Amino acid sequence: MISIKSAFMVLLLSQSLNYAIAQTYPTKTITLVTPFPAGGSTDSISRLIAINLTKTLGQTVVVDNRAGAGGNIGCDVVAKAPADGYTLLLTSSSTHSIGAAFAKKVPFNYDTDFTPIIHVATAPHVFLVTKKIPVNNLKEFIDYAKTHPNDLNFSSAGVGTIMHLTGEYFNASTGTTMMHIPYKGSGLSMPDLISGKIQVVFDSVISGLQHIQDGKLTAIAVTSRKRISSIPNVPTMMEIGAPYGLGNFVSEALWAMYGPKNLPPAIVKKINADVNQILMMPEIKQEFANMGATPGGGTPQEMFQMMLEDRNRWAKVIADQHIVAD
């Protein structure tokens, strides 16, 4: 049995080691793994954070795109990396929320093989409808969908993506029966949406903004808790959708930073503090706004709870709609 004195000495030693780590870290280049290809939203957010962390930490932070297997290749790299703070992960809810909700077999555990660090950003979707159908608001769309049950399709960037799940979430909430048409990327569906070949897409604000402003598509609603500054006249699902089963409808892409499991608390605290500081900078807020996103922030515990709640939401949709990922 460990004596009280021995336990106290272990605690003091642990605190001393954490203090020493905090004083010296980092001393070399940090690799920020993003598990998706270059050019996408996760890559853009990762590079924005990396550039500014390089300034605050005094060491270079490089982005390493390890795409493939729906983000699992990059996640696995970080899960198996040394817990020294020199290999970190910046990923979206596609992995630790939606990926985990599908409960697919992966070579790591989403909860126990990573150390939460911070929630980085949030971005909602905008409900876009072709001009080829006679609807201008949410009520008109739901009425039209229910009287034309076999006529409406919605597109996504692929089976199991957040765009796909958002459409199925809408079906489940409202009792509509839109059919899902997967594309290889969200941008590829836009010409078909404008022409009326498909009728609906739940896409990022930045992807749809120009088409909304040009009058080529109708923005029915946004899937956030609050209206979005770039399209302030477009209501949220929640504020007008309660009579149609949408009173709690939220669908937002989340981005978060993780380290390998057992990352020293001193390193977690340092990175969390620096990223929180970065996210408060006016120029960073503007950069996120340009991407249709808002900065995150907060504690590792808050981030973990946010991802867990998001995972539970999508797990219910997946189960209720009998969705099987590719």
The beta strands (E) that lie in the chain are given as 30-34, 61-65, 87-92, 114-130, 153-156, 179-182, 200-204, 217-222, 252-260, 294-295
Same domain, 206 and 180: yes
State which of 192, 222, 244 marks the end of a domain. Answer: 244
* Rounded Cα distance, 99 and 314, in Å: 10
Q: How far apart (Å, rounded) are the C-alpha atoms in residues 227 and 212?
A: 15
> Which tokens sit at 216?
């080529």
pLDDT over 90, % of the chain = 76
| 39-60 residue pLDDT tens | 888 999 999 999 999 999 999 9
- Chain-centre distance for alpha carbon 82: 25
CB 31 within 8 A of CB 87: yes
Question: What type of residue is 274?
Answer: D
Q: Which pLDDT band, with edges at 50, 70 and 90, does 4 fall under?
A: low
Among 244, 261, 278, which residue terminates a domain?
Answer: 244
pLDDT at 21: 62
Q: Residue 22 — pLDDT band, cuts 50, 70, 90?
A: low
Q: Please tell me the distance from the alpha carbon of residue 67 to that of residue 64, in angstroms, as a whole number.
A: 9
Which of 244, 271, 306 is where one domain is finished?
Answer: 244
CATH number for the domain spanning 100: value is 3.40.190.150
250-299 confidence digits (pLDDT tens): 999 999 999 999 999 999 999 999 999 999 999 999 999 888 899 999 99
Q: Which tokens go with 155?
A: 């597109």
Q: Which pTM does this prediction carry?
A: 0.84
- The H-or-E segment that residue 151 falls in is none
Q: Which two tokens stand for residue 113?
A: 């093989």
Distance CA 126, CA 237 (A): 10
* Secondary structure of residue 49 in the 3-state scheme: helix
How confident is the model over 97-106, as pLDDT tens digits? 999 999 778 9
Give the Cβ contact number of residue 126 at 10 Å: 27
Lowest mean pLDDT among 5-19, 161-175, 245-259: 5-19
Same domain, 165 and 116: no
pLDDT(1) > 70: no
Answer yes or no: is 12 within a domain: no
Q: How confident is the model at residue 188, as a pLDDT?
A: 84
Is the pLDDT assigned to residue 89 strictly greater than 90? Answer: yes
Indicate whether 114 and 138 sit together in one domain: no
Task: Judge whether residue 9 has pLDDT over 90.
Answer: no
Count structural domains, the chain: 2
| pLDDT for 11 beyond 60 | no
Q: Is the pLDDT of residue 139 over 50?
A: yes
pLDDT higher than 80, residue 82? yes
Residues 105 and 141 in one domain: no
275 by DSSP, 3-state: which? helix
- Above pLDDT 70, what percent of the chain? 93
SS3 34: strand
pLDDT at 6: 54
Structural domain for 75, as ranges = 27-123+253-320
Per-residue model confidence (pLDDT) at position 279: 98
Position 196 in a domain: yes
pLDDT surpasses 90 at 247: yes
Residues 6+ apart with CB under 8 A from 117: 88, 256, 257, 258, 259, 263, 268, 271, 272, 275, 300, 303
pLDDT digits (tens, 9 = 90+) for 165-215: 999 999 999 999 999 999 877 778 899 999 999 999 999 888 888 899 999
pLDDT computed for residue 10 by the predictor? 46
Amino acid identity of residue 103, one-letter, is A
Q: Dig out the tokens for 112 from the structure.
A: 């126990």
The whole-number pLDDT of residue 218 equals 96
Residues 206, 126: Cα–Cα separation, whole Å: 9
Position 8 in a domain: no
CB atoms within 10 A of CB 105: 5
Work out the pLDDT band at 324, boundaries 50, 70, 90.
confident
